[in-house]
Amino acid sequence: QKEVEQNSGPLSVPEGAIASLNCTYSDRGSQSFFWYRQYSGKSPELIMFIYSNGDKEDGRFTAQLNKASQYVSLLIRDSQPSDSATYLCAVNSHSARQLTFGSGTQLTVLP
């Protein structure tokens, strides 16, 4: 079983819609959860992180965390074509000074 799992996609949504990206993790000791965006040919860019159960909002982005279900998601409201990228979920456990990444979900926002 992979430690961090994401649907690889591709996920296509129309412009203006809500894009929902999901991630599950296996280590119950995981404490911090990160979402990165990676454009083709570029390096990952940190969008936001979350460490408490519930929702965290930053502009058009909302991260949701449910530790009991070992599930974290990213919602992108009012999706724009410029949001088209691969979104990487990453997890950090208390004992490890490293991030474990999922394989990423490719998102395409259609004009």
Partner 1 sequence: KAGVTQTPRYLIKTRGQQVTLSCSPISGHRSVSWYQQTPGQGLQFLFEYFSETQRNKGNFPGRFSGRQFSNSRSEMNVSTLELGDSALYLCASSSTTSGVYEQYFGPGTRLTVT
Binding of residue 69 to partner 1 (CB under 8 A): no
SS (H, E, C) 39-96: CCCCCCEEEEEECCCEEEEECCEEEEEECCCCEEEEEECCCCHHHCEEEEEEEEECCC
Residue 3 beta carbon to partner 1: minimum distance, rounded to whole angstroms: 11
Q: Decide: is 52 part of the binding site for partner 1 (CB under 8 A).
A: no
32 binds partner 1 (CB under 8 A): yes
Binding span for partner 1 by CB under 8 A among 15-23, 44-52, 61-69, 72-80? 44-52
